[in-house]
Amino acid sequence: MRLSHESRSMRRHEKICLLSLLLGSGLAVTPARAVPSFAQQTGQPCAACHVGAFGPQLKPFGREFKLYGYTASEGKGWYPPIAMTIQTSFTNTQAAQPGGAARWFAPNNNVALDQSSLYYAGRFNSTSGAFIEMEYDGIARQLQIGNVDIRKIKEFTLFGIDAVGGMTVNNNPSVQDLWNSTPAWGFPYNASALAPTPAAATLIDGGLGQRVAGLGLYAMWDDSIYTEVDAYRGLGRDVLNATGIVPVAGAPGIDGFVPYWRIAWQKNLDRHFFEIGTYGLHANIFPNGDTTAGTPDSYTDTAADINYQFIVNPKSVVSDMLSVHGTLIHEAQSLGSSSALLGTNNYNTLDTFRVDASYSFAATVTPTIQYFRTSGTPDAVQYGIAGGRPNSSGFVTEIAYVPWGKPDSPFQFMNIRLAAQYVSYLEFNGTAHGAAANNALYLSLWTALHF
């Protein structure tokens, strides 16, 4: 079957499809999403573009589909690419949480509707497309705008070599990224919002999701060198209220533009895929929105990432597949304003390292293990924890089962993912003593449907 998108790069591949996402809002543990309207648009099964036949982890074809603005199709008549996902779960923590895991929830053993989302996910025309999400957060019981990525693309040549460039409008730095090593798409792809999480996280690691809006330009040259620059502005209180992102009392105020950059090199060698790159941002922020100190704090996040995939049989969409992702984020915090107003240190650093490996068996069963560590300058005021040490580390282990999503699936309108995940801490908020009390078992059912 030939896709109708008239792209030189697309014509080199006959099976380009689906993309489904997302990790999303302001916390790194917010669930990711998978949307089957991309599969309906392209006529391909979920397994053609997704590791384990369910998103958001992408194969090379899935990355190219996103690069080309969600526009590839099998040439059938146009229809609104509407999809829906529902996530339900059970969370058990090693120690009960006094007062409840969250408002409306018990101290332990909670069953929840994590999230229900409605998407416009697909093409507008042959050169533009979008991923737009409206979500109901079942934990906060709040309707809000989720992740947004709207793209316009154009093909060109540079030094006689094919390239594609584009424009993205999005609301979460790294949500537009092609690889599963950056924060918006990194493992775990869904996680419990009813389990304790470390107090410290870098700004780029979910801190700006849905609280900014930005415009970016990107280009891929020779299917190997990728560059991107974006500029974001913080959204005002009225806009946040209108989009359902309720402003937090005392939330920081973003001053001016937030630049974001991305540079990556990739190589696809049939059975092997490699990527190495860097990304980052710089933001000026007034603590608690208080401008009386005059000069805002500044945060500079600089990161490196790697991706490796090994496909046992590239000719089969249900081939076994090994995937490895890693990222290292360094944050420099210049806190002159916070120091004067709140008593923080003048300068802090914060570092986050994550690496994960998964092996997908026949695009059906996918076990994954991740090691994570965050460490930095002690600052009790900045992180709001006793002792001030922001250090946390541990492992996430998960096994996911996707019975459908393959070419012979009896349910072409629906895909499901069942997963059992366990988070175990070696250190939590600066101490190893009692860290295991925050360990959590998370059982989830993730259902994706298209209309």
310, containing H or E segment: strand 297-311
Lowest mean pLDDT among 218-227, 241-250, 410-419: 241-250
User: Mean pLDDT highest for which of 243-247, 249-253, 289-293?
Assistant: 289-293
Global pTM?
A: 0.89
Of the two residues 143 and 74, the one the predictor is more confident about is 143
Q: How many CB atoms lie within 10 A of CB 119?
A: 29
267-303 burial, b for 16+ CB within 10 Å, e for fewer?
ebeeeebebbbebbbbbbbbbbebeebeebbbbebbb
What's the pLDDT band for 29 if we cut at 50, 70, 90?
A: very low
Q: Domain residues of the chain, as ranges?
A: 8-450
Q: What is the CA radius of gyration of the chain?
A: 21
Give me the residue label for tokens 């946390």: 392
Task: Output the DSSP codes for 346-407.
Answer: SEEEEEEEEEEEEEEBTTTEEEEEEEEEEEE---HHHHTSTT----EEEEEEEEEE-SS-ST
Quote the DSSP letter at residue 190: S
Per the prediction, the chain carries an average pLDDT of 88
Structure confidence by residue, pLDDT tens digits, 33-64: 556 677 777 777 888 888 998 989 999 888 99
Asked whether the predicted pLDDT for residue 30 surpasses 70, the reply is: no
Tens-digit pLDDT profile for residues 399-438: 999 998 888 887 767 899 999 999 999 999 999 999 999 9
Report helix, strand or coil for 100.
coil
> What pLDDT is attached to residue 438?
97
3-state DSSP assignment of residue 79: coil
Q: Superfamily for 8-450?
A: Porin (2.40.160.10)
Helical (H) or strand (E) element with 46? none
- Cα of first residue to Cα of last residue in the chain, in angstroms, is 23
In this model, does residue 385 exceed pLDDT 70? yes
Spatial contact of 383 and 342, defined as CB atoms under 8 Å apart: no
DSSP 141-163: TEEEEEEEEEEEEEEEEETTEEE
Q: Is 98 exposed, middle or buried (0-12, 13-18, 19+ CB in 10 A)?
A: exposed
Q: What is d(CA 130, CA 168) in angstroms, rounded to the nearest whole number?
A: 9
Percentage of residues in the chain having pLDDT higher than 70: 89
Helix or strand holding residue 237 (H, E): helix 237-242
With H, G, I as helix, E, B as strand and everything else as coil, classify residue 418: strand
Cis peptide before 56 (omega within 30 of 0): yes
